[in-house]
Structure 1
Amino acid sequence: MIEVLRIGQRLVRDDRVTTHVALVSRAFGASRIYMNEVNPEIKETIYKVNKTWGGKFKIEFIEDWRKLLKSKKKESVKIVHLTMYGEGINHIQKKLADEKEILIVVGAEKVPREVYDYADYNVAVGNQPHSEISALAIVLDRIQQGRQFDVKYDNARLEIIPSEKGKNVRDKSD
Protein backbone atom coordinates (compact mmCIF):
# COMPACT_ATOMS: atom_id res chain seq x y z
CA MET A 1 0.00 0.00 0.00
CA ILE A 2 1.38 3.36 -1.05
CA GLU A 3 -0.35 6.65 -0.30
CA VAL A 4 0.66 10.26 -0.91
CA LEU A 5 0.25 13.37 1.24
CA ARG A 6 0.36 16.76 -0.49
CA ILE A 7 1.26 19.47 2.03
CA GLY A 8 0.36 23.04 1.18
CA GLN A 9 -0.48 24.76 -2.05
CA ARG A 10 0.34 28.17 -3.39
CA LEU A 11 -2.98 29.61 -4.51
CA VAL A 12 -3.79 29.68 -8.23
CA ARG A 13 -0.30 28.61 -9.34
CA ASP A 14 -0.48 25.16 -7.79
CA ASP A 15 -3.91 23.94 -8.92
CA ARG A 16 -2.33 22.42 -12.00
CA VAL A 17 0.73 21.14 -10.10
CA THR A 18 -1.43 19.54 -7.40
CA THR A 19 -3.61 17.94 -10.09
CA HIS A 20 -0.47 16.51 -11.67
CA VAL A 21 0.79 15.23 -8.31
CA ALA A 22 -2.55 13.39 -7.99
CA LEU A 23 -2.40 12.07 -11.58
CA VAL A 24 1.16 10.79 -11.13
CA SER A 25 0.24 9.23 -7.79
CA ARG A 26 -2.60 7.39 -9.51
CA ALA A 27 -0.72 6.36 -12.65
CA PHE A 28 2.35 5.22 -10.74
CA GLY A 29 0.52 2.93 -8.35
CA ALA A 30 -0.46 4.84 -5.22
CA SER A 31 -3.92 4.06 -3.88
CA ARG A 32 -4.79 7.43 -2.35
CA ILE A 33 -3.71 11.04 -1.99
CA TYR A 34 -4.45 13.25 1.01
CA MET A 35 -4.58 17.02 0.58
CA ASN A 36 -6.14 20.19 1.88
CA GLU A 37 -9.38 21.00 0.10
CA VAL A 38 -7.96 23.74 -2.08
CA ASN A 39 -9.94 23.13 -5.24
CA PRO A 40 -12.75 20.55 -5.33
CA GLU A 41 -12.38 20.35 -9.13
CA ILE A 42 -9.17 18.35 -8.62
CA LYS A 43 -11.20 15.55 -7.04
CA GLU A 44 -13.72 15.65 -9.89
CA THR A 45 -10.90 15.50 -12.46
CA ILE A 46 -9.33 12.43 -10.87
CA TYR A 47 -12.65 10.61 -10.53
CA LYS A 48 -13.36 11.28 -14.21
CA VAL A 49 -9.97 9.76 -15.02
CA ASN A 50 -10.85 6.71 -12.86
CA LYS A 51 -14.16 6.35 -14.69
CA THR A 52 -12.53 6.50 -18.11
CA TRP A 53 -9.24 4.66 -17.50
CA GLY A 54 -10.19 2.46 -14.54
CA GLY A 55 -8.87 2.04 -11.04
CA LYS A 56 -10.05 2.99 -7.58
CA PHE A 57 -7.63 5.80 -6.73
CA LYS A 58 -9.03 8.05 -3.99
CA ILE A 59 -8.58 11.65 -2.95
CA GLU A 60 -9.19 12.48 0.67
CA PHE A 61 -9.37 16.08 1.83
CA ILE A 62 -7.88 16.65 5.27
CA GLU A 63 -7.73 19.58 7.67
CA ASP A 64 -4.52 18.78 9.54
CA TRP A 65 -1.53 17.01 7.97
CA ARG A 66 0.19 16.73 11.36
CA LYS A 67 -2.69 14.67 12.68
CA LEU A 68 -2.46 12.40 9.63
CA LEU A 69 1.29 11.89 10.05
CA LYS A 70 0.86 11.05 13.76
CA SER A 71 -1.89 8.57 12.93
CA LYS A 72 0.18 6.88 10.20
CA LYS A 73 3.19 6.62 12.53
CA LYS A 74 1.01 4.82 15.11
CA GLU A 75 -0.07 2.39 12.36
CA SER A 76 3.63 1.67 11.55
CA VAL A 77 3.31 3.21 8.09
CA LYS A 78 6.72 4.38 6.88
CA ILE A 79 6.82 8.12 6.13
CA VAL A 80 8.89 9.03 3.05
CA HIS A 81 9.50 12.76 2.65
CA LEU A 82 10.66 13.96 -0.76
CA THR A 83 13.32 16.64 -0.35
CA MET A 84 16.46 17.74 -2.21
CA TYR A 85 18.30 17.50 1.11
CA GLY A 86 17.64 13.84 1.87
CA GLU A 87 19.44 10.59 1.20
CA GLY A 88 19.94 9.86 -2.49
CA ILE A 89 17.34 7.59 -4.08
CA ASN A 90 20.07 5.41 -5.58
CA HIS A 91 21.31 4.56 -2.09
CA ILE A 92 17.95 3.99 -0.41
CA GLN A 93 15.66 2.50 -3.09
CA LYS A 94 16.15 -1.11 -1.91
CA LYS A 95 15.05 -0.22 1.63
CA LEU A 96 11.98 1.59 0.27
CA ALA A 97 11.06 -1.33 -2.00
CA ASP A 98 11.09 -3.64 1.05
CA GLU A 99 8.59 -1.51 3.01
CA LYS A 100 4.98 -2.77 3.14
CA GLU A 101 3.09 0.46 3.85
CA ILE A 102 4.34 3.88 2.79
CA LEU A 103 3.07 7.44 2.92
CA ILE A 104 5.01 9.76 0.60
CA VAL A 105 5.00 13.43 1.62
CA VAL A 106 5.15 15.93 -1.25
CA GLY A 107 5.48 19.58 -0.29
CA ALA A 108 4.45 22.66 -2.23
CA GLU A 109 5.96 25.62 -0.44
CA LYS A 110 8.70 25.39 2.16
CA VAL A 111 8.02 22.29 4.24
CA PRO A 112 8.06 22.77 8.03
CA ARG A 113 11.05 21.28 9.86
CA GLU A 114 8.85 18.83 11.75
CA VAL A 115 8.13 16.92 8.51
CA TYR A 116 11.83 15.99 8.38
CA ASP A 117 11.52 14.70 11.94
CA TYR A 118 8.33 12.69 11.31
CA ALA A 119 9.89 11.05 8.27
CA ASP A 120 11.41 7.61 8.45
CA TYR A 121 13.17 8.46 5.20
CA ASN A 122 14.05 11.89 3.81
CA VAL A 123 14.69 11.09 0.16
CA ALA A 124 16.35 13.15 -2.57
CA VAL A 125 16.08 12.64 -6.29
CA GLY A 126 19.24 14.41 -7.34
CA ASN A 127 20.73 17.46 -5.70
CA GLN A 128 19.51 20.15 -8.08
CA PRO A 129 16.23 22.11 -8.07
CA HIS A 130 13.52 20.10 -9.83
CA SER A 131 9.80 19.44 -9.92
CA GLU A 132 8.05 17.61 -7.10
CA ILE A 133 6.04 15.87 -9.81
CA SER A 134 9.14 14.31 -11.37
CA ALA A 135 10.56 13.37 -7.95
CA LEU A 136 7.31 11.63 -7.02
CA ALA A 137 7.25 9.67 -10.29
CA ILE A 138 10.84 8.53 -9.87
CA VAL A 139 10.38 7.46 -6.24
CA LEU A 140 7.14 5.59 -6.99
CA ASP A 141 8.82 3.82 -9.89
CA ARG A 142 11.89 2.87 -7.85
CA ILE A 143 9.75 1.53 -4.98
CA GLN A 144 7.66 -0.64 -7.30
CA GLN A 145 10.43 -1.43 -9.79
CA GLY A 146 8.13 -0.84 -12.78
CA ARG A 147 5.47 -3.35 -11.70
CA GLN A 148 2.83 -0.61 -11.56
CA PHE A 149 2.84 -0.40 -15.36
CA ASP A 150 1.67 -4.00 -15.75
CA VAL A 151 -1.61 -3.35 -13.92
CA LYS A 152 -4.79 -3.66 -15.99
CA TYR A 153 -8.06 -2.25 -14.64
CA ASP A 154 -11.21 -4.29 -15.21
CA ASN A 155 -13.36 -1.20 -14.74
CA ALA A 156 -11.63 0.87 -17.49
CA ARG A 157 -13.84 2.21 -20.27
CA LEU A 158 -10.83 2.99 -22.47
CA GLU A 159 -7.71 0.90 -22.87
CA ILE A 160 -4.54 1.78 -24.75
CA ILE A 161 -3.29 -1.01 -26.97
CA PRO A 162 0.52 -0.72 -27.21
CA SER A 163 1.58 0.23 -30.72
CA GLU A 164 4.92 0.89 -32.34
CA LYS A 165 3.44 3.78 -34.35
CA GLY A 166 0.24 5.73 -33.98
CA LYS A 167 -2.50 5.65 -31.37
CA ASN A 168 -4.54 2.57 -30.68
CA VAL A 169 -7.29 2.96 -28.07
CA ARG A 170 -10.04 0.44 -27.50
CA ASP A 171 -13.40 1.58 -26.15
CA LYS A 172 -14.53 -1.30 -23.95
CA SER A 173 -18.05 0.12 -23.60
CA ASP A 174 -18.90 -0.70 -27.24
Structure 2
Amino acid sequence: MQNENEVIVLRYGHRPGRDDRMTTHVGLTARALGADRVIFPSNAGQAKETVEDITDRFGGPFTVELDDSQGATIRNFDGTVVHLTMYGEEVQTVESDIRAAHTEEPLLVIVGGEKVPFDVYEAADWNVGVTNQPHSEVAGLAVFLDRLFSGRELDREWENQERVVLPQKQGKKVVSPDDR
Protein backbone atom coordinates (compact mmCIF):
# COMPACT_ATOMS: atom_id res chain seq x y z
CA MET A 1 0.00 0.00 0.00
CA GLN A 2 1.35 3.40 -0.92
CA ASN A 3 0.42 6.95 -0.01
CA GLU A 4 -0.32 9.78 -2.42
CA ASN A 5 2.92 11.52 -3.49
CA GLU A 6 5.07 8.86 -1.83
CA VAL A 7 8.41 8.06 -3.45
CA ILE A 8 9.44 4.43 -3.11
CA VAL A 9 12.76 3.05 -4.33
CA LEU A 10 12.81 -0.63 -5.29
CA ARG A 11 16.23 -2.28 -5.41
CA TYR A 12 15.65 -4.94 -8.08
CA GLY A 13 17.85 -7.93 -7.32
CA HIS A 14 20.66 -8.43 -4.83
CA ARG A 15 23.64 -10.77 -5.06
CA PRO A 16 24.84 -11.46 -1.49
CA GLY A 17 28.53 -10.85 -1.08
CA ARG A 18 28.81 -8.96 -4.35
CA ASP A 19 26.09 -6.29 -3.94
CA ASP A 20 26.01 -5.79 -0.16
CA ARG A 21 27.64 -2.36 -0.11
CA MET A 22 25.88 -1.12 -3.25
CA THR A 23 22.43 -2.20 -2.02
CA THR A 24 23.08 -0.45 1.30
CA HIS A 25 24.11 2.70 -0.56
CA VAL A 26 20.95 2.60 -2.67
CA GLY A 27 18.97 2.67 0.59
CA LEU A 28 21.08 5.40 2.16
CA THR A 29 20.86 7.55 -0.97
CA ALA A 30 17.09 7.04 -1.21
CA ARG A 31 16.73 8.15 2.42
CA ALA A 32 19.09 11.12 2.25
CA LEU A 33 17.71 12.49 -1.02
CA GLY A 34 14.00 12.49 -0.34
CA ALA A 35 12.44 9.07 -0.88
CA ASP A 36 9.96 7.85 1.72
CA ARG A 37 10.94 4.19 1.70
CA VAL A 38 13.06 1.57 0.05
CA ILE A 39 12.19 -2.02 -0.78
CA PHE A 40 15.06 -4.51 -0.87
CA PRO A 41 14.98 -8.15 -1.98
CA SER A 42 14.47 -10.56 0.91
CA ASN A 43 18.11 -11.68 0.81
CA ALA A 44 19.34 -8.13 1.63
CA GLY A 45 18.63 -8.24 5.37
CA GLN A 46 22.02 -6.78 6.33
CA ALA A 47 21.43 -3.74 4.12
CA LYS A 48 18.01 -3.30 5.76
CA GLU A 49 19.58 -3.36 9.23
CA THR A 50 22.24 -0.82 8.26
CA VAL A 51 19.76 1.65 6.71
CA GLU A 52 17.41 1.30 9.70
CA ASP A 53 20.33 1.98 12.06
CA ILE A 54 21.24 5.15 10.15
CA THR A 55 17.58 6.24 10.18
CA ASP A 56 17.41 5.66 13.95
CA ARG A 57 20.54 7.76 14.55
CA PHE A 58 20.22 10.50 11.91
CA GLY A 59 16.43 10.82 11.70
CA GLY A 60 13.50 10.02 9.53
CA PRO A 61 10.84 9.24 8.69
CA PHE A 62 12.06 6.50 6.35
CA THR A 63 10.96 2.89 6.02
CA VAL A 64 12.91 -0.15 4.84
CA GLU A 65 11.14 -3.30 3.67
CA LEU A 66 12.16 -6.72 2.41
CA ASP A 67 10.14 -8.24 -0.44
CA ASP A 68 10.23 -11.72 -1.99
CA SER A 69 8.09 -10.80 -4.99
CA GLN A 70 9.61 -7.78 -6.68
CA GLY A 71 7.96 -8.53 -10.03
CA ALA A 72 4.53 -8.56 -8.39
CA THR A 73 5.35 -5.34 -6.53
CA ILE A 74 6.05 -3.65 -9.88
CA ARG A 75 3.00 -5.15 -11.64
CA ASN A 76 0.62 -4.26 -8.80
CA PHE A 77 1.95 -0.77 -8.14
CA ASP A 78 -0.82 1.83 -8.27
CA GLY A 79 1.09 4.87 -9.46
CA THR A 80 3.91 5.92 -11.78
CA VAL A 81 6.79 3.51 -12.36
CA VAL A 82 10.25 4.80 -13.33
CA HIS A 83 13.04 2.38 -14.16
CA LEU A 84 16.54 3.88 -14.00
CA THR A 85 18.70 2.43 -16.77
CA MET A 86 21.42 3.73 -19.05
CA TYR A 87 19.26 2.58 -21.97
CA GLY A 88 16.35 4.90 -21.21
CA GLU A 89 15.18 8.33 -22.22
CA GLU A 90 17.36 11.21 -21.05
CA VAL A 91 16.44 12.34 -17.55
CA GLN A 92 16.63 15.99 -18.59
CA THR A 93 14.04 15.33 -21.32
CA VAL A 94 11.43 13.56 -19.14
CA GLU A 95 11.97 14.96 -15.64
CA SER A 96 9.20 17.58 -15.85
CA ASP A 97 6.67 14.98 -17.08
CA ILE A 98 7.65 12.61 -14.26
CA ARG A 99 7.46 15.44 -11.71
CA ALA A 100 3.97 16.34 -12.97
CA ALA A 101 2.82 12.70 -12.76
CA HIS A 102 4.21 12.49 -9.22
CA THR A 103 2.03 15.39 -8.07
CA GLU A 104 -0.98 13.18 -8.86
CA GLU A 105 0.15 9.76 -7.60
CA PRO A 106 2.91 7.81 -5.87
CA LEU A 107 6.16 7.06 -7.66
CA LEU A 108 8.08 3.77 -7.74
CA VAL A 109 11.73 4.13 -8.77
CA ILE A 110 13.36 0.85 -9.82
CA VAL A 111 17.12 0.56 -9.40
CA GLY A 112 18.62 -2.64 -10.82
CA GLY A 113 21.18 -4.71 -8.99
CA GLU A 114 21.64 -7.42 -11.57
CA LYS A 115 20.49 -7.94 -15.13
CA VAL A 116 16.94 -6.61 -15.20
CA PRO A 117 14.46 -8.71 -17.21
CA PHE A 118 12.73 -7.12 -20.19
CA ASP A 119 9.33 -7.22 -18.48
CA VAL A 120 10.59 -4.53 -16.05
CA TYR A 121 11.29 -2.26 -19.04
CA GLU A 122 7.77 -2.99 -20.33
CA ALA A 123 6.10 -2.41 -16.96
CA ALA A 124 7.74 0.99 -16.47
CA ASP A 125 5.94 4.16 -17.44
CA TRP A 126 9.39 5.62 -18.06
CA ASN A 127 12.77 3.99 -18.60
CA VAL A 128 15.12 6.81 -17.66
CA GLY A 129 18.82 7.17 -18.34
CA VAL A 130 21.06 9.41 -16.29
CA THR A 131 23.57 9.59 -19.14
CA ASN A 132 23.84 6.66 -21.49
CA GLN A 133 27.29 5.82 -20.17
CA PRO A 134 28.13 3.08 -17.67
CA HIS A 135 28.07 4.37 -14.09
CA SER A 136 26.90 3.46 -10.62
CA GLU A 137 23.21 2.87 -9.97
CA VAL A 138 23.68 4.91 -6.80
CA ALA A 139 24.84 7.90 -8.88
CA GLY A 140 21.85 7.49 -11.19
CA LEU A 141 19.45 7.40 -8.24
CA ALA A 142 21.04 10.47 -6.66
CA VAL A 143 20.82 12.54 -9.85
CA PHE A 144 17.26 11.38 -10.52
CA LEU A 145 16.00 12.23 -7.02
CA ASP A 146 17.72 15.61 -7.08
CA ARG A 147 16.02 16.43 -10.39
CA LEU A 148 12.66 15.08 -9.18
CA PHE A 149 12.72 17.31 -6.11
CA SER A 150 14.46 20.26 -7.84
CA GLY A 151 17.06 20.38 -5.07
CA ARG A 152 14.53 20.89 -2.24
CA GLU A 153 15.55 17.58 -0.64
CA LEU A 154 18.89 19.15 0.32
CA ASP A 155 17.14 21.39 2.88
CA ARG A 156 15.00 18.67 4.42
CA GLU A 157 14.37 18.71 8.16
CA TRP A 158 14.63 15.37 9.96
CA GLU A 159 12.55 14.03 12.84
CA ASN A 160 13.85 12.09 15.87
CA GLN A 161 17.53 12.71 15.27
CA GLU A 162 20.08 11.38 17.76
CA ARG A 163 22.94 12.91 15.76
CA VAL A 164 23.31 15.98 13.57
CA VAL A 165 26.16 16.70 11.17
CA LEU A 166 27.17 20.34 11.38
CA PRO A 167 28.39 21.69 8.04
CA GLN A 168 31.83 23.29 8.19
CA LYS A 169 34.67 24.13 5.86
CA GLN A 170 37.07 21.53 7.27
CA GLY A 171 36.86 18.61 9.63
CA LYS A 172 33.94 16.59 10.92
CA LYS A 173 31.48 17.68 13.57
CA VAL A 174 28.64 15.42 14.67
CA VAL A 175 26.62 16.49 17.72
CA SER A 176 23.35 15.74 19.42
CA PRO A 177 20.44 17.93 18.22
CA ASP A 178 20.48 19.78 21.58
CA ASP A 179 24.11 20.87 21.03
CA ARG A 180 23.57 22.74 17.75
Provide the TM-score with structure 2 as the length reference: 0.89
> What is the distance in 2 between the residues matched to 1:12 and 1:166?
32
Cα separation, 1, equivalents of 2:113 and 2:170: 37
Contact 1:4 1:25 in 2 (8 A): yes
Residue number among 58, 61, 70 corresponding to 1:56 in the alignment:
61
Contact kept, 8 Å, 1:3 with 1:102, in 2: the verdict is yes
Q: Which runs of 4+ in 1 moved over 6 A?
A: none
Task: Note if contact 1:157-1:173 (Cα within 8 Å) is conserved in structure 2.
Answer: no
Whole-Å Cα distance in 2 between the matches of residues 110 and 19 of structure 1? 18
Q: Distance in 2 between matches of 1:154 and 1:89?
A: 31
Q: Quick one: which of 86, 109, 115 aligns to 1:84?
A: 86
Structure 1 residues 11 and 3: alpha-carbon distance in aligned structure 2, compared to 1, 3 A threshold:
same
Q: What is the CA-CA distance between 1:162 and the residue it aligns to?
A: 2.3
The offset of 1:59, in angstroms, is 1.2
In the alignment, is the contact (CA less than 8 A) between 2:121 and 2:127 conserved in 1?
Answer: yes
* CA distance in structure 2 between the partners assigned to 1:4 and 1:32 by the alignment: 6
- Classify the secondary structure of the residue corresponding to 1:11: coil
Q: Does 1:96 align with 2:98?
A: yes
Aligned CA RMSD, in angstroms, stands at 1.4
Identity %: 40
Residue 153 in structure 1 maps to residue 155 in structure 2: no
Residue 3 of structure 2: aligned partner:
none
Gaps of 5+ in 2: 1-5
TM-score normalized by structure 1?
0.92
Supply the AA of the counterpart residue of 2:153: Q
| Cα deviation code 1:68-87 (max 9, x no counterpart) | 11221xx2x10000111110
User: Out of 114, 118, 123, which is 1:118 matched to?
Assistant: 123
Residues 1:168 and 2:170 aligned together: no
Q: Quick check: 2:44–2:66 contact (8 Å CA) kept in 1?
A: no
Q: Deviations over 1:27-51 (max 9, x none)?
A: 1111111121113221211111011
Work out the CA distance in 2 between the residues paired with 1:154 and 1:121: 32
